[in-house]
Amino acid sequence: MATAATKALRVALRGGGILSHPRFNKGTAFPAAERKAFGLTGRLPYRVNTLEEQCHRAYDQLCTRDTPIRKNTFLQSLKDQNWVLYYALLSRHLKELIPIIYTPTQADAIANYSHLFRRSEGMYLTFPNQDSMEGDFLELTKGRDIQLFVISDAEAILGIGDQGVGGIGIATAKSAIYTLLAGIDPSKAISVTLDLGTDNDDLLNDDLYVGWQNNRVRGLAYDKFVDKFMQLVRKYYPHSLVHFEDFGVSNAKRLLDKYRDQHAVFNDDVQGTGAVTLAAMMSAVGVTKSRLADQRFVVYGAGTAGLGITRQLRDGIVTIDKLSEADANKRFFLMDRYGLIKESLGSNKIRDEVRDFVRPDAEWVGVPTNAQGEVELLEVVKKVKPTVLIGCSTRGGAFTEQVVKEMAKGTERPIILPLSNPSRLAEVNPSDANDWTEGKALMASGSPFPPCKNPKGGKDYIIAECNNALIYPGLGYGALITQARSLTDTMIIAGAQRLALLSPALKDPDNALLPDFTDAREVNFEVAVAVVEQAIDEGSANVTWKKEDVREKIHADMWLPVYPEFIYDEAGER
Catalytic residues: 102, 174
Nearest 10 degrees: CA dihedral of 423, 425, 426, 432? 80
Amino acid letter for position 474: G
Residues 26, 11: Cα–Cα separation, whole Å: 13
Residues 520, 262: Cα–Cα separation, whole Å: 31
Annotated ligand binding at 468? The verdict is no
Q: Are 244 and 461 in contact (CB under 8 A)?
A: no
**Per DSSP, what are the bridge partners of residue 416?**
389, 443
Annotated ligand binding at 467? The verdict is yes
Radius of gyration in angstroms for the set of CA atoms belonging to the chain, rounded to a whole number: 24
Residues 402, 436: Cα–Cα separation, whole Å: 9
Residues 36, 58: Cα–Cα separation, whole Å: 25
Give CA angle at 498 (317, 440), nearest 5°.
Answer: 65
Of 207, 531, 62, the closest CA to residue 523 belongs to 531
Residues 307, 389: Cα–Cα separation, whole Å: 14
Long-range contacts of 74-83 (CB under 8 A, 24+ apart): 75/100, 75/101, 76/109, 77/118, 79/22, 79/176, 80/22, 80/119, 80/121, 81/22, 81/25, 81/27, 82/22, 82/25, 82/26, 82/27, 83/22, 83/23, 83/25, 83/186, 83/561
Q: Are 419 and 445 in contact (CB under 8 A)?
A: yes
Q: Are 438 and 464 in contact (CB under 8 A)?
A: no
- Continuous H helices in 24-143: 32-37, 51-63, 68-81, 83-92, 94-101, 105-111, 113-116, 133-141
Annotated ligand binding at 508? The verdict is no
Surface-to-core class of residue 118, CB atoms within 10 Å of its CB (0-12 exposed, 13-18 middle, 19+ buried): exposed
Can you count the helices (H) and strands (E) in the chain? 23, 14
Residues 187, 22: Cα–Cα separation, whole Å: 10
Could you tell me which residues are annotated as the binding site for (S)-malate?
421, 467
Could you tell me which residues are annotated as the binding site?
245-246, 269, 421, 467
Could you tell me which residues are annotated as the binding site for a divalent metal cation?
245-246, 269
